A = this chain, B = another copy of it.
Amino acid sequence: MALKLVIIGGGSSYTPEIIEGIIKRHQHFPVKEIVLVDIEEGEEKVRITSELAKRMIKHADVPIELSYTKDRAKALKHADFVTVQIRVGGLKARALDERIPLSHGLIGQETNGAGGIFKALRTIPVMLDIARDIKEICPEAWLINFTNPAGIVTEALLKHGAHQKVIGVCNIPYNMKNSIAEIFDVNVNRVMIEFAGLNHFVFGQKVWIDGVDRTEETIDHLLNDTIDYSPSNIAMLPWNRQFLRSLRMLPNPYHQYYYQYEDVLAKDIEAYKNKGTRAEAVMEVEKQLFEKYKDADIHEKPKELEERGGAYYSESACSLMNSLYHHSMDIQTVNTLNKGSIPDLPHDAVIEVNSVITKSGPIPLTVGKLPDSISGAVISMKKFEQLVIEAAVTGDDNMLYSAMIMNPLISSDHKAQSVMNEMLEAHKRYLPQFFEEANVHDETK
């Protein structure tokens, strides 16, 4: 059987990674056609990534046809898998997501706090459009979402979308497993972490090597060594020792926004005032990456791509598509419906969870009740996410305000309102649901 893959947001700088993943698996995962899709604003970028991708395919000598288009509907015809990696509003919008909160003395970050909320508000309507198209044009296709905030976006799709064959992926679980593998000096396939929680708010509850529980040793490692398992977009501060001792679980890199709030805020405000926020650094990285991508002598994914925070996102996606296709019944960590896996959370909540990957989709493994030390925070975060989704779908500003005031990174009733108002205005073009306009666009990461 010949498979067709559609990459929405094909002009993303991550595209070479996914192409590499497809090439690498070619023998067993028979993709014969890849179409990169992007919008007007991303056309130059998608032209560049498609040229590079073609060189990679040619160099690898594999029988894959690759093209790019702005016509999403046309691209979707006969698709088997659709990956989505869009950034509505582009890096400029991300810069606003970071700068506006910081200017009010709040954390300004792409997927957490006020920035994460507005990224979700811009993204969800576009994703629902894409889901509608897929349902109509290629209803058997799997939609693999790695657009952030991946957990919120995936839940929005599963709750409000036309298409139910949707799975969210994130590179954090993979990165954490990789770090554990390094600690124990074993191959990553021998590592299993029981994840408990939500995308970007997930804890590593148990660590097994070859099925043997090694959690205590792992925590001791974290207590004694300086192990950095954060992706490159998050410079991890060292954890307080009592924090780890009392937690007895692995925090993920994004937890520092919550549990090291003041230190991170101070550092980010410093950066914002002096050298610029992460969006601005990424713009620079991307500029250089695309320069590289243009180089006709390059036939492989440039090593520099790993400096972007999203490394392994595409690896996770390719591995997932492969298992779906082959009904591999292996265990992967995905964003999917809870279904009781964590009984503290609603059944229809999307969680980040180890799941058996079957041809009919992921079946989550049971995690069980969350420990007392984290359950309040995780439950509360999920309630927040659900208010964000409702606000994104309804355009109700009271609901949005409720979401803002519930977020632990926004601590004041007045500030919540001023930041909300300023961000609604700044992103107006991409938030028709709040302004009753209708010119939303999806753009590449």
Which A residues fall within an 8 A CB radius of B? 192, 208, 210-213, 239-240, 242-243, 245-247, 259-263, 327, 329-331, 338-343, 347, 356, 358-360, 363-369, 372-373, 375-377, 379-384, 386-387, 390, 397-399, 401-402, 405-406, 408, 411-417, 420
Bound-state Cα–Cα, A341 to B365, Å: 8
Contacts A246-B399, A376-B379 known; 8 new A-B pairs at CB < 8 A: A211-B327, A242-B420, A245-B398, A245-B401, A259-B405, A260-B413, A263-B414, A376-B384
The answer to whether A408 touches B408, judged by C-beta atoms less than 8 angstroms apart, is: yes
Least Cβ–Cβ distance between A239 and chain B, in angstroms: 7
Bound-state Cα–Cα, A390 to B347, Å: 23
The answer to whether B242 touches A417, judged by C-beta atoms less than 8 angstroms apart, is: yes
Q: Given A210-B327, A377-B380, A384-B376, decide whether A365 and B364 contact each other with a Cβ distance below 8 A.
A: yes
For A384, list chain B residues within 8 Å (CB): 376
9 contacts between A and B (CB under 8 A): A208-B360, A211-B358, A243-B416, A245-B401, A261-B412, A338-B366, A364-B365, A372-B390, A376-B383
For A372, list chain B residues within 8 Å (CB): 383, 386-387, 390, 402
Highest count of chain B CB atoms <10 Å: which of A211, A259, A368, A369? A211
Name the 8 nearest CB pairs between A and B, nearest first. A211-B359, A376-B380, A211-B327, A376-B383, A240-B413, A246-B398, A340-B343, A373-B402
For A416, list chain B residues within 8 Å (CB): 240, 242-243
Q: Which residue of B lies closest to A359 (CB)?
A: B211
Q: Which residue of B lies closest to A251 (CB)?
A: B413
Bound-state Cα–Cα, A413 to B212, Å: 30
Highest count of chain B CB atoms <10 Å: which of A342, A382, A412? A412
Bound-state Cα–Cα, A9 to B211, Å: 30
The answer to whether B363 touches A366, judged by C-beta atoms less than 8 angstroms apart, is: yes
Bound-state Cα–Cα, A364 to B339, Å: 12
The answer to whether B365 touches A340, judged by C-beta atoms less than 8 angstroms apart, is: no
The answer to whether A414 touches B383, judged by C-beta atoms less than 8 angstroms apart, is: no
The answer to whether B406 touches A373, judged by C-beta atoms less than 8 angstroms apart, is: yes
For A342, list chain B residues within 8 Å (CB): 340
For A375, list chain B residues within 8 Å (CB): 383
For A247, list chain B residues within 8 Å (CB): 402
The answer to whether B260 touches A405, judged by C-beta atoms less than 8 angstroms apart, is: no
Of the candidates B360, B366, B402, which one forms a contact with A212 in the assembled complex, judged by CB atoms under 8 Å apart? B360
Bound-state Cα–Cα, A112 to B216, Å: 33
For A327, list chain B residues within 8 Å (CB): 210-211
For A239, list chain B residues within 8 Å (CB): 413
Least Cβ–Cβ distance between A120 and chain B, in angstroms: 16
Bound-state Cα–Cα, A214 to B208, Å: 35
Of the candidates B210, B211, B340, B390, which one forms a contact with A368 in the assembled complex, judged by CB atoms under 8 Å apart? B340
For A210, list chain B residues within 8 Å (CB): 327, 359
Of the candidates B340, B379, B405, B411, which one forms a contact with A341 in the assembled complex, judged by CB atoms under 8 Å apart? B340
Of the candidates B212, B366, B401, which one forms a contact with A365 in the assembled complex, judged by CB atoms under 8 Å apart? B366
The answer to whether A340 touches B359, judged by C-beta atoms less than 8 angstroms apart, is: no
Q: Which residue of B lies closest to A400 (CB)?
A: B246
Bound-state Cα–Cα, A340 to B192, Å: 20
The answer to whether B358 touches A347, judged by C-beta atoms less than 8 angstroms apart, is: no
The answer to whether A262 touches B412, judged by C-beta atoms less than 8 angstroms apart, is: yes
For A383, list chain B residues within 8 Å (CB): 372, 375-376
For A387, list chain B residues within 8 Å (CB): 372-373
Bound-state Cα–Cα, A262 to B373, Å: 25
For A368, list chain B residues within 8 Å (CB): 339-340, 347
The answer to whether A259 touches B413, judged by C-beta atoms less than 8 angstroms apart, is: yes
For A367, list chain B residues within 8 Å (CB): 339-340
Of the candidates B329, B340, B414, which one forms a contact with A369 in the assembled complex, judged by CB atoms under 8 Å apart? B340
Least Cβ–Cβ distance between A94 and chain B, in angstroms: 25
Q: Which residue of B lies closest to A338 (CB)?
A: B366
For A408, list chain B residues within 8 Å (CB): 408, 411
